[in-house]
């Protein structure tokens, strides 16, 4: 059964069948229903290769997570798993497949331009990394991309993300409300989003009449082993500091374990706040207070924005609600 035969049975032009199968709004719902009933009845299968050759589209979207040996992030990071799952579901609902990659097309490792060689119709990039200017330069020449990240000055691409500065402020203010003044920040502040979280926390502390030098910054990769070792080294002699704000939940959970292994208690001796609200945060011991990022809404917003670009529209930036989720790791006042 060919598309031409489906069109003849439906009493429409072949182009109408093509548009209906592509989900075009130019075909009435009644006509779509008639065509889809015939497709199901006749067991018609779309020749994907022929369609892609004809339309010059791959129906693939590449999701890039800029991972390097220095930042030590992994695809298995729960935050990545959650947002990729949401992206994959939204793409599948719109008949797109997903390719996962760690190599940025602007990096020295990249051998080919993803968009120019039509390996994918568009890119979703998770995070702006430590070189956002290179991303901005690439986006000036290649428009079919959208980024999970922050509203940075000079960016040339649409973003979906949370308000990282506000997230840091919420953490800092909660520490002040709990009577915590000697704060440790865990995270690599060379990364744009992490830097904003750090700045927001610092702003809340200074606005609350706390001395700015009371925040100690431990810059480190994103892996739990680094957070564990750095926390143990800092607290080896006892609880000189009374709170930790970690740039991710993974770092926060590792820090809690390090503190517990030293015989200190969370939150009685040291209060801990993470960032992301990954699924396991609620089941850490103690349950982790964290700044929530809505990965489900975020993944879907990224796909919606990219599809808008495919249709020739300019997507609106989406800054999702940012909130603190209070749990046991941070609820004892000093």
The per-residue DSSP string of 204-220 comes to HHHHTT--GGGEEEE--
Q: What is the pLDDT of residue 251?
A: 96
Residue 53 domain-assigned (yes or no): no
Residues 137 and 220 grouped into a single domain: no
* Domain of residue 195, residue span: 164-293+324-330
Residue 35 domain-assigned (yes or no): yes
Q: Report DSSP letters for 262-305, one per residue.
A: TT--TTTT-EEEEEE--GGGGGSSSPPEEEE--HHHHHHHHHHH
Q: What is the pLDDT of residue 187?
A: 94
User: Which stretches of the chain drop beneath a pLDDT of 50?
Assistant: 53, 55, 112, 116, 212
Residues 153 and 180 grouped into a single domain: no
Residues 285 and 169 grouped into a single domain: yes
Residues 168 and 128 grouped into a single domain: no
Residues 248 and 303 grouped into a single domain: no
Residues 174 and 154 grouped into a single domain: no
Residues 153 and 299 grouped into a single domain: yes
Return d(Cα 243, Cα 155) in angstroms, integer.
34
Pair of tokens at residue 246: 């970690």
Tell me the CATH number at 260.
3.40.50.2300
Q: What is the pLDDT of residue 140?
A: 86
CB neighbour class for 144 (10 Å; exposed up to 12, middle 13-18, buried from 19): middle
Report the candidate in 136, 135, 125 with the shortest Cα–Cα distance to residue 83.
125
Residue 308 domain-assigned (yes or no): yes
Question: Looking up tokens 């609620």, which residue turns up?
Answer: 282
Residues 298 and 267 grouped into a single domain: no
CB neighbour class for 90 (10 Å; exposed up to 12, middle 13-18, buried from 19): buried
Number of domains in the chain: 3
Residue 85 domain-assigned (yes or no): yes
Residue 182 domain-assigned (yes or no): yes
Q: What is the pLDDT of residue 186?
A: 96
Residue 55 domain-assigned (yes or no): no
pTM for the model stands at 0.79
Residue 218 domain-assigned (yes or no): yes
Q: What is the pLDDT of residue 53?
A: 45
Return d(Cα 144, Cα 133) in angstroms, integer.
18
Residues 76 and 9 grouped into a single domain: no
Q: What is the pLDDT of residue 243?
A: 95
Question: Looking up tokens 């704060």, which residue turns up?
Answer: 183
Residue 299 domain-assigned (yes or no): yes
């Amino acid at each position: 059964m060919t598309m031409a035969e489906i069109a003849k049975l439906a009493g429409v032009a072949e182009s109408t069948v093509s548009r209906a199968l592509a989900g075009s709004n130019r075909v009435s719902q009644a006509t779509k229903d008639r065509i889809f009933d015939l497709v199901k009845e006749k067991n018609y299968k779309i020749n994907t290769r022929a369609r892609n050759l004809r339309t010059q589209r791959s129906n693939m979207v590449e999701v890039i997570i800029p991972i390097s040996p220095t930042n030590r992030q992994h695809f298995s990071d729960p935050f990545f798993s959650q947002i990729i799952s949401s992206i994959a579901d939204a793409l599948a609902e719109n008949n797109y497949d997903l390719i996962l990659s760690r190599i940025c097309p602007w990096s020295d490792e990249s051998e080919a331009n993803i968009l120019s060689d039509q390996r994918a119709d568009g890119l979703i990039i998770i995070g702006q990394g430590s070189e956002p200017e290179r991303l901005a330069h690439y986006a000036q020449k290649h428009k079919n991309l959208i980024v999970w990240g922050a509203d940075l000055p000079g960016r040339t691409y649409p973003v979906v993300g949370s308000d990282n500065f506000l997230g840091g402020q919420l953490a800092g203010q909660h520490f002040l409300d709990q009577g915590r003044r000697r704060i440790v920040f865990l995270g690599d502040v060379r990364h744009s989003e992490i830097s904003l979280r750090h700045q927001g926390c610092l702003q809340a502390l200074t606005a609350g009449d706390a001395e700015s030098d009371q925040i100690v910054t431990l810059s480190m990769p994103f892996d739990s082993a680094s957070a564990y070792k750095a926390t143990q080294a800092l607290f080896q002699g006892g609880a000189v500091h009374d709170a930790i704000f970690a740039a991710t939940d993974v770092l926060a959970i590792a820090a809690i374990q390090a503190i517990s292994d030293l015989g200190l208690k969370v939150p009685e001796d040291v209060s801990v706040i993470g960032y992301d609200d990954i699924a396991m945060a609620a089941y850490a011991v103690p349950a982790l207070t964290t700044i929530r990022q809505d990965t489900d809404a975020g993944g879907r917003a990224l796909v919606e924005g990219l599809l808008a670009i495919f249709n020739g529209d300019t997507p609106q930036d989406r800054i999702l609600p940012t909130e603190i989720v209070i749990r046991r790791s941070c609820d004892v006042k000093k």
